[in-house]
A and B are shown apart, each in its own frame.
Chain A
Amino acid sequence: MKKKVLVGMSGGVDSSVAACLLLEQGYEVAGATLHLYNNEDTGIPKARTCCSLADVEDARSVAEHLGIEHYVFNFGPEFRREVIARFARGYECGETPNPCIDCNKYIKFGKMLDRAKLLGFDAVATGHYARVEYDEKIGRWLLKKAADASKDQTYVLYTLTQEQLAHTLFPLGGFLKPEVRAIAEKHGFVNARKPDSEDICFVPGGDYAAFLENVMKFDSKSGNFVDVNGNVLGRHKGLFHYTIGQRKGIGISFESPKYVLKKDCANNTVVLGDNKDLYSSTFAVGNVNFIALDHLDKPVEAGVKVRYSQSEAQAVIYPIENGKVKVRFRSPQRAVTPGQSAVFYRGDTVLGGGKILSEEMKQL
């Protein structure tokens, strides 16, 4: 019997081509678009048309073109709870969260996979650039980098469990982005030339500070900019307006360029310093998930990536207490940011990853 696959269709070109490829590979395919937030959730006036409506229409158009069923699921409550609330909580604690990682963990490969199974599907698929393979020797599902290194999205997928990977397909893993666009053009998809999405989906325009202030009702608690010795340098607008490594927008002129080194929640201070002070060699990660191994029982060499748009650097990862992992880079890396994730690679294979913790950075 044909395997039934539910493709998460965002209305973009990647997931459209993913659905198309699965059909060509002989799967029984249906599409689902997730309705995750309303205008009110993103600060757009209620009276305006639904922000995601155009995307849903594009997805529906492609589904119709392919002759497959198309569903719309309202996962708004889950998205608010698992993604938006976590995003806000991260900023509250002085972190710089990555909501896409939580969305993949809790929504796309959590709630959507559960819904797919409930409706009798064998697996879900998305238009992510990544590969899933089963390794017979070790009896584990592996997550591997995409053929298109410039598009690789394994960084935001490292939380996937064995159970999730066993029911997940990434049809674009072996393709280059231009090839994907060519397939979309060939099929005449309405979205073939739609630009890639880059912003956080629920923060239109990318002004997350305005989102936190206006929608999440964050108080802009002003406080001091201080140097590494605690000397006051000026006033800041509230911690959530800043991120580690930032130089622009500090609003004070210095003799030499100053960068945000640290956000100190307890004292409501933003520590400024020189670019060289941004470099660090060791840090700890929590909420660890391992994919290529069950757990870490000894130090292992790995390439470690500490933000989405950065290449990995060589490091050794050590098991420490409570399932946490210590990372020690071979050479110091710039702006390791609490709340972002560190993902561990061996070659093309994702070993695992976790969330960068703030408190333990110095003691290690």
Chain B
Amino acid sequence: MSDFVYADHAATAPLSKAALKAMMPFLTEEYGNASSAYAAGRRARRAVDRAREKIADAFGAHPDEIYFTSCGTESDNWVMRSPELCSEKKKKIISSSVEHHAILNTLEARKHTGLPSELLKADSNCRINVSRLKEALGSSTALVSIMAANNEVGTVMPIAELAEASHKAGALFHTDAVQAAGHIPIDVEKGRVDLMSFSAHKFGGPKGIGGLYICRGVPAGRWLYGGGQERGLRGGTENTAGIVGMAAALEESCENMEKDTHRISVLRDELISGVQKIPGAHLTGDPENRLPGNASFVFEGAEGEALVLLLDQAGICVSAGSACSAGALEPSHVLLAMGIPPELARGSLRITLGAENTEDDIRKILEVLPDAVARSREAAGK
């Protein structure tokens, strides 16, 4: 049994060997700028082009629809803050209360400029109901943005239906697919998605690189003024190594998706049934429509913050809630939006598995967790 169990893949995944291998030349001898005219620059350009093709391929998109950014948060900001996606008549954005803060805080800031938005409520499984969206849609709706899968409880959303309803009302559809990309099949055409954010480090790529899919004809507008990179929309020297690494990781995870999904969800189900034997433990999120690696819980009377540190002492990395900028854990806005009372939401724990996790890891978690929950309850009950 290994001493260290990494089970926080929704936070970040380890860099895949394939990604590292693909990146190495561009971190060492191939340092040319992809915009330079000489051979070294042209080699970098080719690598970026090839990566763009691979990524487009993985999502069923055209290469000219893939734009590189620095992360998922940047991609979300681009979409939420694009004036071109709105007009005088259509300026409302509909999103949901269980989105990532990259969406929620951007919408909050947008509200101060007088632009309207509405957050749909999720059900107790964290699903966004299509009929609820239909009620909210109107002629003034410019854009709907619903995540493909939730980062905290792993609920997978009915994206195709939500997109279809949005289109019928004349609105564009964006999805934050940061948690979904590389983990569940994504086809932008079948999903009828107009815009989609993704981030490399969630599927085995490096940190500091992400992307935005912009369907042909969708006027996302210029995000960063600069040297004309990314078809003039997002200036800035290409992060060649990052781009290449992201493409290699995505290609690898798509190739292994079926096999990994099966193996990881078997482990996850074993973990869930083990954890559910702990009295007062409740699975959060949708039991059916769920990311393969996500096992999220709330424990009555326990504190997620204490559980994370107790598991850390046993060499197990998991998470609870989301950390504020000071590093303290805030009760999850997602759990609160699902109607879980604040006291219970404080006892949350998110275990997210990845390709390298084993049976032994699950055994170790199940060995340590019940005692940690009991001790946390005892301390919290004082």
User: Which residues of A are interface residues toward B (Cβ below 8 A)?
Assistant: 33, 35, 38, 46-47, 49-50, 52-53, 56, 60, 71-74, 76-77, 110, 114-115, 117-120
Contact = CB atoms under 8 A, between A and B. Distances in A.
Given A114-B382, A118-B376, A52 B326 contact: yes
A49 B325 contact: yes
Given A47-B109, A114-B379, A119 B326 contact: no
Contact of A119 (B310, B343, B380): B310
A47 B375 CA distance: 37
B280 interface: no
Interface in B102-119: 108-109, 112
B39 interface: no
A200 to B, nearest CB: 19
Nearest to A114: B379
A50 B326 contact: yes
Interface string B307-329: 00110010000000000111111
A175 B326 CA distance: 31
Contacts of B378: 118
Instruction: Name the interface size band of chain B.
Output: 20 to 34
Contacts of A52: 326
Given A114-B382, A115-B379, A118-B376, A71 B324 contact: no
A73 B330 CA distance: 10
Nearest to A70: B327
A339 to B, nearest CB: 26
B198 to A, nearest CB: 27
B306 A53 contact: no
25 contacts: A35-B327, A35-B328, A38-B324, A47-B108, A50-B324, A50-B325, A53-B326, A56-B326, A56-B327, A72-B328, A73-B305, A74-B330, A76-B330, A77-B342, A77-B346, A110-B382, A114-B382, A115-B306, A115-B379, A117-B379, A118-B306, A118-B375, A118-B378, A119-B309, A120-B313
Contacts of B343: 77
A173 to B, nearest CB: 27
Contact of B309 (A50, A53, A71): A71
Residue from A38, A53, A74, A119 whose CB has the most chain B CB atoms within 10 Å: A74
Interface in B314-360: 324-330, 342-343, 346
Given A115-B379, A117-B379, A118-B379, A73 B310 contact: no
A97 B107 CA distance: 40
A74 B376 contact: no
A219 B379 CA distance: 38
A74 B342 CA distance: 14
Residue from B108, B309, B376 whose CB has the most chain A CB atoms within 10 Å: B309
A74 B329 contact: yes
A56 B382 CA distance: 27
Given A35-B324, A74-B329, A77-B342, 17 more contacts: A35-B327, A38-B324, A47-B108, A50-B325, A52-B326, A56-B327, A72-B327, A74-B324, A74-B328, A76-B330, A114-B379, A118-B306, A118-B375, A118-B378, A119-B306, A119-B310, A120-B313
A23 B130 CA distance: 59
B171 to A, nearest CB: 27
A73 B305 CA distance: 7
B26 to A, nearest CB: 32
B305 A74 contact: yes
A189 to B, nearest CB: 19
B310 A118 contact: yes
Contacts of B108: 46-47
Nearest to B382: A114
A125 B150 CA distance: 40
Contacts of B325: 49-50, 53
